[in-house]
């Protein structure tokens, strides 16, 4: 009876955990840190090639207690042959408060296919992706340990082994593939007057920006930064629709098995989503933002960056539908259920950025559980390598004085890798760097929250062994009681 009762107790606990209503509450900002813009990764090459781009996405692998920080297509905006990569890093986290410190890169993994580096360069042939890769979202499959990465160029989802070698590419749904008329074109643009002009599929540079995986590793969910060209996009004005799409993939087959509409809240220039994090099989956190704040060439005023909770359990599959520009979805079609705002990322700013909000909040992850039962939620920014380029493709390091009300009004640009030949962006005249000017740093914020019903990943084999050992002890206890 003792052994049976114990098994029933374990089963009841597991069932109650699975059935518990998931919600994120009691969120508190703990602290933030900045990471110098000239931080180098552990690869070989020039200092410019090794400059870390923070953080197109962040992922916490609970099974291995590992953090991953994803860099995107590189400092050239698709014009330089940058070898795409991801950084595995460590971070000290206070087990009681959740305060973070001491960011350190431990490993740099470059993405390759058949031993050839995947590059940030835009496709040479418009109808073929080739080795072009713009990584934006990353997760670790808890079952296989492989890395899944979403890409904006395709838009695609790729699976890599832990050495960065391509294992396979997931199937891209036909309605997401960019086309100009009937021809696939990965370089075409959507605005009116573009030649050739996109007529369907994902918008340029607005592909699969975010990626999540269910705790059991069964499904992956990738999310477009904005809806497709046929989801309410107005080519004449360049105005985007208010809905985007979450695509559900079967990780066993690599096939898409559903698409769900998500209604955007963010306002202003360049609204869209940046990150997606799974809480369980149906509930997620979504990071939504506009393109305002401290960033390369951004408008500082009116930043709008928020995290929402979303539930897909009642959402309708919209794979075969075009979404409207605004207003209600067609009768009988239900969008993802969107809860209240969980985090306002603009509410907590750092003195190192002049107490202003960064432009590109792009990384989001649920981290370890603290001693008090709360979870760490980590948010991070993409600093675009603190590099810009002119119309001729010449690259310049961008130095900001964040003590100014508008740092970019008085920013200084220098040819990459030099501190001479600099000029002021305000006057286009020669300028001299001073200690007040710094490359744009990466930023990490730590929050703590209660996450009811948060589902842990699939146990590793050694965890199963521990469970079986525990059941063996119960069986021994049962025999002792009989004796």
Compute the distance between CA of residue 324 and CA of residue 307 in angstroms, rounded to an integer. 24
Instruction: Pick the range with the lowest mean pLDDT from 65-74, 336-345, 462-471.
Output: 462-471
Question: Does residue 429 belong to any structural domain of this protein?
Answer: no
CA angle 88, 254, 360 (to 5 degrees): 45
| Residue partners of 246: CB distance under 8 A and separation at least 6 | 221, 222, 223, 259, 260, 262, 276, 284, 312, 336
Give percent above pLDDT 70 in the chain.
Answer: 89
Reduced 3-state DSSP string for the chain: CHHHHHHHHHHHHHHHHHHCCCEEEEEEEEEEEEECCCCECCCCCCHHHHECCCCCEEEEECCCCEEEEECCCCCCCCCCCCECEEEEEEEEECCCCCCEEEEEEEEEEECEECCEECECCCCCCCCCCCCECCEEEEEECCCCCCEEEEECCCCEEEEECCCCEEEEECCCCHHHCCEECCEECCCCECCCCCCCECCECCCCCCCEEEEEECCCCCEEEEEECCCCCCCCCECCCCECCCEEEEEEEECCCCCEEEEEEEECCCCCCCCEEEEEEECCCCEEEEEEECCECECCCCECCCCCEEEEEEECCCCCCCCCCCCCCCCCCCCCCCCCEEEEEEEECCCCCCHHHCCCCECCEEEEEEEEECCCCCEEEEEEECCHHHEEECCCCCEEEEEECCCCCCHHHHCEEEECCCCCCCEECCCCCECCCCCCCEECCEEEEEEEEEEECCCCCCCCHHHHHHHHHHHHHHHHHHHHHHC
Q: Does residue 466 register a pLDDT over 50?
A: no
Question: Does residue 300 belong to any structural domain of this protein?
Answer: yes
The pLDDT of 443-466, averaged and rounded, is 74
Question: Does residue 182 belong to any structural domain of this protein?
Answer: yes
Question: Does residue 273 belong to any structural domain of this protein?
Answer: yes
Q: Which domain holds residue 285?
A: 21-387+441-452
The pLDDT of 78-89, averaged and rounded, is 96
Q: Does residue 122 register a pLDDT over 60?
A: yes
Instruction: Pick the range with the lowest mean pLDDT from 1-15, 154-168, 182-196, 365-379.
Output: 1-15
Q: Does residue 328 register a pLDDT over 70?
A: yes
Render pLDDT for 229-239 as a digit per residue (tens, 0 to 9): 999 999 999 99
Q: Does residue 90 register a pLDDT over 80?
A: yes
151 band by pLDDT with thresholds 50, 70 and 90:
very high
- Position 270 scores a pLDDT of 83
Q: Does residue 359 register a pLDDT over 60?
A: yes
Q: Does residue 154 register a pLDDT over 60?
A: yes
Render pLDDT for 2-48 as a digit per residue (tens, 0 to 9): 333 333 333 333 333 233 346 899 999 999 999 999 999 999 999 99
Tokens of 268: 């202003």
322 band by pLDDT with thresholds 50, 70 and 90:
very high
458 band by pLDDT with thresholds 50, 70 and 90:
low
0.75 exceeded by the pTM?
Answer: yes
- Position 22 scores a pLDDT of 60
Instruction: Pick the range with the lowest mean pLDDT from 23-27, 245-249, 473-477.
Output: 473-477
Q: Does residue 262 register a pLDDT over 70?
A: yes
Look at strands 375-381 and 387-389 and give their pairing. Answer: unpaired
The pLDDT of 296-304, averaged and rounded, is 89
Instruction: Pick the range with the lowest mean pLDDT from 14-18, 84-88, 101-105, 431-435.
Output: 14-18
The residue to which tokens 């920080």 are assigned = 69
Tokens of 157: 């989802």
Compute the distance between CA of residue 50 and CA of residue 34 in angstroms, rounded to an integer. 18
Better-scored residue on pLDDT, 21 or 56: 56
Which CATH number is 70's domain given? 2.115.10
CB 138 within 8 A of CB 149: yes
Question: Does residue 445 belong to any structural domain of this protein?
Answer: yes
68, β-bridge pairs = 59, 88
Compute the distance between CA of residue 147 and CA of residue 165 in angstroms, rounded to an integer. 10
Q: Does residue 462 register a pLDDT over 70?
A: no
The pLDDT of 290-315, averaged and rounded, is 93
Question: Does residue 430 belong to any structural domain of this protein?
Answer: no
Q: Does residue 403 register a pLDDT over 50?
A: yes
Q: Is the dihedral of CA 455, 460, 466, 468 positive or negative?
A: positive
Question: Does residue 348 belong to any structural domain of this protein?
Answer: yes
- Position 221 scores a pLDDT of 98
- Position 268 scores a pLDDT of 64
Question: Does residue 113 belong to any structural domain of this protein?
Answer: yes
Q: Please count the structural domains in the chain.
A: 1
Better-scored residue on pLDDT, 286 or 271: 286
407 band by pLDDT with thresholds 50, 70 and 90:
confident
CB 397 within 8 A of CB 414: yes
Tokens of 286: 């979504």
CB 120 within 8 A of CB 133: yes
The residue to which tokens 């995290």 are assigned = 307
266 band by pLDDT with thresholds 50, 70 and 90:
low
Q: Does residue 469 register a pLDDT over 70?
A: no
64-67 own/partner pairs: CB under 8 Å, 24+ apart: 64/140, 64/145, 65/368, 66/140, 67/91, 67/365, 67/367, 67/378
Compute the distance between CA of residue 232 and CA of residue 329 in angstroms, rounded to an integer. 12
The pLDDT of 381-410, averaged and rounded, is 89
What is the arrangement of strands in the sheet containing 442-452, beginning at the earlier edge strand? 23-35, 442-452, 375-381, 361-369
């Amino acid at each position: 009876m003792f052994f049976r009762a114990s098994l029933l107790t374990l089963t009841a606990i597991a069932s109650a955990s699975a059935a518990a209503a998931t919600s994120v509450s009691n969120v508190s900002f703990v602290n933030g840190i900045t990471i110098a813009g000239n931080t180098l990764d552990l690869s070989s090459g020039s200092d410019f090639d090794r400059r870390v781009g923070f953080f197109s996405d962040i992922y916490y692998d609970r099974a291995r207690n590992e953090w991953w920080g994803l860099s995107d297509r590189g400092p050239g905006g698709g014009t330089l042959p940058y070898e795409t990569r991801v950084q595995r890093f460590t971070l000290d986290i206070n087990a009681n408060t959740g305060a973070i410190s001491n960011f350190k890169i431990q490993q740099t993994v470059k993405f390759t296919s058949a031993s050839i580096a995947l590059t940030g360069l835009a496709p040479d042939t418009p109808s073929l992706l080739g080795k072009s890769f713009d990584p934006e979202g990353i997760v670790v499959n808890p079952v296989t340990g492989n890395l899944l990465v979403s890409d904006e160029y395709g838009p695609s989802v790729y699976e890599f082994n832990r050495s960065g070698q391509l294992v396979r590419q997931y199937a891209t749904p036909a309605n997401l593939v960019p086309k100009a008329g009937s021809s696939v074109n990965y370089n075409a643009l959507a605005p009116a007057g573009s030649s050739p002009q996109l007529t369907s599929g994902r918008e340029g540079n607005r592909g699969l920006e975010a990626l999540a995986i269910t705790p059991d590793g069964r499904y992956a969910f990738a999310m477009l930064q904005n809806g497709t060209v046929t989801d309410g996009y107005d080519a004449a004005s360049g105005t985007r629709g208010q809905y985007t799409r979450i695509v559900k993939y079967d990780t066993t087959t690599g096939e898409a098995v559903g698409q769900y509409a998500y209604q955007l809240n963010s306002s202003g220039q360049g609204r869209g989503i940046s990150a997606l994090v799974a809480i369980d099989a149906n509930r997620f956190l979504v990071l939504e933002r506009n393109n305002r704040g401290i960033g390369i060439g951004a408008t500082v005023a009116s930043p709008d960056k928020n995290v929402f909770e979303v539930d897909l359990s009642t959402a309708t599959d919209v794979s075969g539908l075009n979404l409207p520009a605004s207003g209600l979805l067609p009768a009988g079609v239900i969008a993802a259920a969107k809860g209240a705002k969980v985090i306002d990322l603009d509410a907590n700013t750092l003195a190192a950025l002049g107490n202003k909000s960064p432009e590109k909040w792009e990384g989001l992850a649920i981290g370890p559980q603290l001693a008090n039962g709360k979870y760490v939620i980590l948010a991070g920014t993409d600093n675009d390598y603190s590099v810009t380029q002119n119309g001729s493709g010449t690259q310049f390091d961008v130095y900001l004085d964040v003590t100014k009300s508008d740092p970019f009004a008085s920013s200084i640009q220098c040819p990459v890798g030099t501190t001479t030949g600099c000029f002021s962006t305000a006057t286009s005249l020669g300028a001299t760097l001073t200690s007040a000017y710094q490359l744009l740093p990466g930023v990490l914020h730590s929050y703590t929250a209660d996450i009811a019903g948060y589902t842990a990943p699939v146990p590793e084999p050694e965890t199963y062994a521990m469970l079986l050992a525990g059941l063996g002890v119960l069986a021994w206890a049962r025999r002792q009681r009989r004796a």
